[in-house]
Amino acid sequence: MSEPTIEVLIDANTLQARIAELATQIRKDYDGKPLVLVGVLKGSFLFLADLCKHLDNNVIIDFLQTSSYHGGRSTTGVVQIRKDVDVNIEGVDVLLVEDIVDTGTTLSHLIDLLGTRKPASLKIASLLSKPEARRVEVPVEYLGFEIENVFVVGYGLDDAEKYRQLPYIGVVKDS
């Protein structure tokens, strides 16, 4: 069987330019105050890496990991915490960094969970959003791009763990 082709949806330069804009907004909004960036693994690793390079020394980086897809392409609706954050977020500003908001289930669960730990504020940065797929509304303060309801890969996003290394967002065209 031949390798599927990947059609570019958002190229690397466009991604980087938008991430720089989001970082400018974040710097302005937090204005040097301590800020914990919490990357949602694994999909956000490249977005968080590129975003944080534009930020200052007020930033602390942490990660958590959920599981709800179990390698498939559609959500099961059940969100489990596989790896929790290491830092104490009580009383500090927290920015959850996500790759994509699809149904909204994951982020809505994480907002409830992290909210119980009493952060000073809890906001969301997501590289992508598929508004048509939404089942639970979640407020995304810093959004990279809205896309159509298609399954995308690259720049951290996977299809059964493949394609995360691509520097762009693409759509898998099965041959």
Positions that interact with ligand IMP (CB under 6 A): 43, 68-69, 75, 98-106, 151-153, 157
Q: How far is the CB of 28 from ligand IMP (least distance, A)?
A: 26
CB burial of residue 175 (10 Å; 0-12, 13-18, 19+): exposed
Provide the β-strand partners of residue 128: 100, 145
Between 27 and 168, CB nearer to ligand IMP: 168
Between 114 and 157, CB nearer to ligand IMP: 157
Q: What whole-number distance in Å separates Cα of residue 129 and Cα of residue 33?
A: 27
Between 93 and 102, CB nearer to ligand IMP: 102
Active site residue 56: no
Q: Are 108 and 83 in contact (CB under 8 A)?
A: no
Which residue in the list 50, 93, 102, 112 is annotated as catalytic?
Answer: 102
Q: How far is the CB of 104 from ligand IMP (least distance, A)?
A: 5
**Catalytic positions, written as ranges:** 102
